[in-house]
Structure 1
C-alpha cells in the first residue's frame, strides 16, 4: 500500500529558555488541584524553561457561549504569543468537542507550535491536523504526568526531551529520524486521590512492566494517528475527521466511570466494532495499542482477545502494551509522523524527526 504524503506543518523545536504555556481546553481543574500545577511549573522552570499559565479560574456565568469564548480565547492567546514555543494541556476531560467549531484554524496555521496532550485532547489533535494542518503530539499533560510527585517519571521526561527539545551543543533535532521507540522497564497504575494532597504526598509504587506484545506479526509503514479510543470515534462525519487511509492507528483506553476504574470491556467491544463500521480496519496498515489503564492480567488478555476478534480476517500487524496514553510513564508520540512496525526486529520506529530545528 502506498504511504500517505504528510500534509502537516512540523513545529519548531523547543529549547531551554523558551516559554511553555499551560492551557485547559477541556476539564477546568487547575484551581482545584493547584499543587500539581505548582509542581509542574517548578519542575519545568528548574529545567530552564519559562512557564505561562493561561487559565481563568472563574468562567463567565452569563451564558454557555461566554464560557466557550473564554476557553477558546485562552487557546488562541497561547498560539498568538510569539514567546510561547510549546503548549501543554493541563489534563483531558469530556468537553474538548465543545470548542472545535469556534477555533480560528487560520490563526493557528499562521502560528504553528508544539501542542501536546492526551485523552480527550484526542479531539483537538484531530481538529488541529484537519483544520490547521498542524502536527501535534500525543503525550504528557501538566496536571497528570508533569505534576507527578516528587517529579515526572524519568522515562516520561527523557522521551519528551528526545522528541521535542533541541539541546544546546547537540544535534538532537538534526537527526533524520527519531528511530526505535523505547519501552519502560517499570510502570505504575496506582491510583492516589489528588484531593488528599498535601496529606498523601508520596511517590506512586512502580512494578515491572509486562512488556510489549505482538498480537499479529508483520511489517508495515504509515503515518501514525489516533489516540483515546472513545474520543477517536467522536469526529467521524464532521469537518474535523482525519482519514486513516494508509495510516498506522494508535489506540489507548481511558479510565472508567470512576478515576480508579478501567474502561469497561463491553464498551471496548462496542467502540472497536464502531471503528469497523466506519471502514477503519479496511484503511489502516498497522495497529498500536497502549497499555490499558488498571486492567488485571485477565482483563488485559480479554482486551487483546477482543481486538483480534474484531479485526479477524485482516493481516496488518498489531503491537500491544506500549507506553502510551492513560499509563505512566508515557511516550511522546509525534502524530502524523511516518513510522514503521516490524515484528521481526521487534521494533516500532519513527522514521522522521519530531520537530524542525528552526
Structure 2
C-alpha cells in the first residue's frame, strides 16, 4: 500500500474532469472552497471542454490525468464532477506512471471506477469524497467541509448515528480494508481487469437516481459474483432519490438489502452519510475500517496520508 503525502497550506492542486463536463458556473463557485483551505488551484482545460457527454476525448482526458500526476508542483488531484466516462479510459492509463508519482486523488460517483482501478493496480490509497460542482458550490455542510481535514493531518475517522440515524441489519463486528463506492460503477467493473476486489474487505455502497428495480438488478449481480460472500462487512450509505418512477408497484430498498445482503450474515449497517448527500463524508480507499454494526459505528483509525 502506498499513502500519498499530506497537503500543506500553499500547495498547488489540480482540478480536472476525467468523466463528464461539469456545470461550469457551479465549478467556478466552488473553486474558492479549495482556496479557503489554503490551496492554490490549477484548473484543467477539461472543465471547459465538451465531447458529447464527455469532457473531451478519451485521449485528452487521459493525457490531462497523466500530466496532473507527473507535475511535481501538483500535490493533489480533485475531480470536479462525475457523470460518465472514467471506465472508458481505465485501460489507457499508465499505472506505472501513477505508482512512480503518488499523490492524493479525490472524487466519487463515476470516479469510483478510477478510485479502484488506481488503487488495485498501484496500491495507492485514493479518496472517495465530495466534488466541486456537485457538493461544494453552495451551502456546504460543516461536516462536508471538515472531511477535507484528513488530507492535512493524520486523523482517525469515526462515523456513527450521531451524524445521521443508522440501522443495524446484521449485528456483529468486523474489520478490513475499505473498498466500494457507487453501485453502478462497482457493477460495471465485474468481468474486467478492474473488477472490484472484496475479499476480506469492508464494502460500502452508495447510489443516486436509480429506481429500486434497477438497484435490485445490480445488487443481485454483485451477489451472484460473490462480492457479498467475500466481504467481511457491508456498509450501505446514501441512496439518494432512488424511488419508483416507471414501476410504481415496487419493493422497498430495505427489502432489497434483506434479499441480497442480509442472508450472508456479515455485519451490516445502513444509512451512512457517504455519497450523493449532505453532509458527504470522505473515506480513504484501502485503509482498514472497523465496523461495529451492533454499536452502529464505522471507525478508520489509520490515516490515508503520509505525514513525512
Larger Rg: 1
Matches within 5 A, 1:26-41: 26-29=19-22, 33-41=23-31
Confirm or deny that 1:181 pairs with 2:135. Answer: no
Tell me, yes or no, if the aligned pair for 1:11 and 1:356 is still in contact at 8 Å: yes
| Residues 1:154 and 2:160 are matched in the alignment | no
In 2, Cα distance between equivalents of 1:349 and 1:235: 27
**Superposed displacement of residue 55, structure 1:** 2.0
Inter-partner Cα distance in structure 2 for 1:304 and 1:273: 14
Deviations 1:209-247 (A, max 9, x none): 5x1111111111111101101110111222212321101
- Please point out which of 5, 9, 27 is paired with 2:2: 9
Match of residue 228 from structure 1 = 182
State the 1:183 CA deviation.
5.5
Report the counterpart of residue 340 of structure 1 in structure 2: 290
Normalising to structure 2: TM-score of the pair? 0.91
Summarize deviations over 1:190-216 as a string: whole Å, max 9, x none: xxxxxxxxxxxxxxxxxxx5x111111
Aligned positions of 1:245-284 closer than 5 A:
245-255=199-209, 263-284=210-231
Give the superposition deviation at 1:182.
5.3
Cross-structure match for 1:213? 167
Structure 1 unaligned residues grouped into runs of 5+ = 1-7, 167-172, 186-208, 256-262
Q: Let me know the Cα RMSD of the aligned residues.
A: 2.4
Q: TM-score, normalised by structure 1?
A: 0.79
Q: How far apart are residue 299 of structure 1 and its match? A: 11
The count of corresponding residues between Structure 1 and Structure 2 is 302
Partner of 1:308: 258
Q: Aligned with 2:252: secondary structure?
A: helix
- Cα deviation for residue 271 of structure 1 reads 0.6
- 1:115 is aligned, of 96, 105, 128, to 105
Q: 1:323 to 1:312 in 2, by over 3 A?
A: closer
Q: Cα 1:224–1:58, aligned 2, differ >3 Å: closer, same or farther? A: closer
State the match for 1:242 in structure 2.
196
Where structure 2 has 5 or more consecutive residues not aligned to the other structure, the ranges are: none
Q: Is the 8 A contact 1:226 1:232 kept in 2?
A: yes
1:15 shift after superposition: 1.7
Higher mean displacement: 49-58 or 96-105:
49-58
Q: Secondary structure at the match of 1:274?
A: helix
Aligned partners of 1:59 and 1:70 also within 8 Å: no
Q: Note the C-alpha offset of 1:275.
A: 0.6
